[in-house]
Amino acid sequence: MGERVFYITTPIYYVNADPHIGHAYTTIVADFLARWHRLAGYDTHFLTGTDEHGEKIAQAAQKNNEDPQAFVDRMSARFRDAWKKLNIEYDDFIRTTEQRHKKVVQQVLQKVYEAGDIYFGEYEGLYCVGCERFLTEKELVNGRCPDHGTVPEKRKEGNYFFRMEKYREWLRNYIMENPDFIRPEGYRNEVLSMLSEPVGDLSISRPRKRVPWGIPLPWDEEHVTYVWFDALLNYVSALDYPNGEKFDRYWVHAWHLIGKDILKPHAVFWPTMLKSAGIPIYKCLNVGGFLLGPDGKKMSKSLGNVVDPFALAEKYGPDVVRYYLLRDLPYGQDGAVGEAALVERYNADLANDLGNLLSRTVTMIDKFFGGYIPSPGLPEGPDHELIAQAEMLPDTVESLIRRLELTEALKAIWKFIGRANKYIDETAPWALAKDPSKKERLATVLYNLAEALRIISVHIWPAMPNIPGKIRGQLGISDESLFTWESVKRFGVLPAGLRIGEKKIIFPRIESTVELKTASKEEKSEGKKGSGEKAEFITIDEFAKVDLRVAEVLEASRIEGADKLLKLKVKIGDEERQIVAGIAKHYKPEELVGKKVVVVANLKPAKLRGVESQGMLLAASSKEKVVLVTVEGDIEPGAKVK
């Protein structure tokens, strides 16, 4: 294994608007990774910051009637405040308007210029101010930018160009030879396909007359640096490139985290810039998906589906928001997020699984051993499995985290929590307590549970930095050496005899009234009810509008990251359809295949957790039970149900 050094970066965020959930998610992932690497003994450096030049920012300042510098100062501070609210502990915060950054941008430009990789030319192209880059015809959807929905502006002007095309073959080979350079693999393939055709040269300047807000080119004051060429260099300017100690120590270990919309600048512009400037290439680029609204649609103010992570953090605490986002969204995939899903995750994993384990353990130590952690005897029966799983956990979690499978890492920790809860059921301490000859056995069981909780508290710290302290407080553990990564690799290091602390419920159950939003049609009818309209009789014509059909289930599978949902392929007549149904807690996928169910066949398709559903199953439900409406007898799929 290589040196244990870790450098993690987030994109530097544009300060034209306030921080939102997309920024928060990436920064939480970075903070999780930084904390875990620090815990595991890596020399870690975590950089975030703000991107403060360019046309977009200049326009925003102007719209606000503010001087650009005053505007960016104010907005950049809002990002720093936001990160405090989510418990983000970065080592450095870079701003592209800082002198330390501007100096490096000019040095690198000069180097690339001297290498003969910059020339002056006339450029004509389609520019998207939202993306701050020229888009190719191929990238447009119906003549518009796919990310911003705007028609790009035609631009023709004299710009300096960077010979990016010159390095295309080199980059393509580099990516082919380094399979982990861009992750997940889908994005690596996307980049390889971009590089299979000419990428052209990159326009790297703007005339100062038109865009005065930027860093002047060192050899031509009439032009300022293009914002992406400027911004990407933050990753090295923050390390005091070229001769900083930090640069030498951290740079080659850099992991960049980005969103998929800024793949091209990071995967194509950036490595070729580095190559030309004679700077080694970063270690890896990690591409995250997009967070969607609770309805599975792109968040937008007009749809009213914007989820505010800071408001959620205020309501439920930052740790809950962090855990929810890390646990529910497999890194690299798009996924819907929302308050109802957060509450569901909270109740299941935190209030139930972890909260119960802690309160049961502390209560029993209090009741059966007067509040002192007892001394264990020799392990027997189910102890062996608990101990074996505990001792395997750190390695499992480590390898999942290093592969950026954060959801899986948290699942592994919760599997262990589940194991510990099951251990309570298997050993039935309350029964042991009734038999004085079983006192030692009871002591062993309760000791093992306290030790399991110590190990769990260390594992969850990177995701939920505030919670471990509370768990340790209740177990009465204060010795810091019991909270190192090394110390969790061995079961049984917790000293007996510690006095437990005051018992408190750390995750009270939330009896929520928030409902998961789905199709907008449903929302409207919900709204109606809310406004006081009474349920009335409906006419036969109204009923006839609902097209109910018999459907045969052909396939059924679980949906990654959505514990309640199953994805079904059903046959209705000659047609095959995909339906997402919230029945995973009640049916196993294999039980469903071959069943004839009843579906609403003319429901407007909707996306649930990002997966399209083209219909709805009928089911009877009461309290916790859900039973599907099925059809008995010889009737073909597609038959109408009246």
Indicate if 284 belongs to the active site.
Answer: no
- Return the residue matching tokens 């008995």: 632
Q: What is the largest CA-CA distance in the chain?
A: 91
Residues linked to residue 14 through DSSP beta bridges, in sequence order: 51
CB-nearer residue toward ligand MSP: 22 or 501: 22
CB of 60 vs ligand MSP, minimal distance in Å: 12
Nearer to ligand MSP, 103 or 439 (CB): 103
Query: By C-beta, is 22 or 473 nearer to ligand MSP?
Result: 22
Q: Cα 577 vs. chain centroid, distance in angstroms?
A: 30
DSSP class of 6: E
Which listed residue (45, 145, 266, 567) is catalytic? 145
Active site residue 223: no
Catalytic residue among 156, 301, 524, 642: 301
The alpha carbons of the chain give a radius of gyration, in whole angstroms, of 29
Separation of alpha carbons 162 and 120, rounded Å: 9
Distant-in-sequence, close-in-space partners of 458: CB < 8 Å, separation ≥ 6? 39, 468, 483, 484, 485, 487, 488
Which of 412, 398, 401, 411 shows the shortest CA–CA distance to 328? 411
Known active-site residue 23: yes
Nearest position to ligand MSP, beta carbon: 259
Annotate 84-149 with DSSP letters as a single string.
Answer: HHTT---SEEEETTSHHHHHHHHHHHHHHHHTT-EEEEEEEEEEETTTTEEE-GGG-BTTB-TTT-
Annotation marks residue 148 as catalytic: yes
Q: Check 20, 103, 166, 564 and give the catalytic one.
A: 20
* Distance in Å, CB of 404 to ligand MSP, minimum: 15
CB of 138 to ligand MSP, least distance (A): 20
- Select which of 260, 297, 298, 489 is catalytic: 298
37 belongs to the catalytic site: no
Per the annotation, the verdict on 20 as an active-site residue is yes
Active site residue 128: yes
Contact residues: ligand MSP, CB under 6 A: 11-14, 22-23, 25-26, 51, 231-232, 234, 258-259, 261-262, 290-291, 299
Q: Which is nearer to ligand MSP, 51 or 55 (CB)?
A: 51
Q: Nearest distance from residue 307's CB to ligand MSP, in Å?
A: 9
What three-state secondary structure class fits 623? coil
Among 201, 237, 206, which residue's Cα sits nearest to residue 222?
A: 206
**31 and 87 in contact (C-beta within 8 Å)?**
yes
| Cβ distance to ligand MSP smaller for residue 30 or 291 | 291
CB of 354 to ligand MSP, least distance (A): 27
Q: Which CB sits closer to ligand MSP, 12 or 453?
A: 12
| Closest distance of CB 11 from ligand MSP, Å | 4
The crossing angle, in degrees rounded to 10, of helices 21-39 and 68-85 is 60
Q: Active-site residue among 45, 53, 131, 275? A: 131
Q: Assign 3-class secondary structure to 269-308.
A: HHHHHHHHHCCCCCCEEEEECCEECCCCCECCCCCCCCCC
Any catalytic annotation for residue 298?
yes
C-beta of 276 vs 448, nearer to ligand MSP: 276
Among the listed residues 85, 103, 148, 283, the single catalytic one is: 148
Closest by alpha carbon to 615, among 572, 561, 586?
A: 572
* N-term to C-term CA, the chain: 67
DSSP secondary-structure letter at 634?
S
Q: How far is the CB of 636 from ligand MSP (least distance, A)?
A: 44
Q: Which single residue is written with the structure tokens 């609210």?
A: 85
DSSP secondary structure letter of residue 633: S
Active site residues: 20, 23, 128, 131, 145, 148, 298, 301
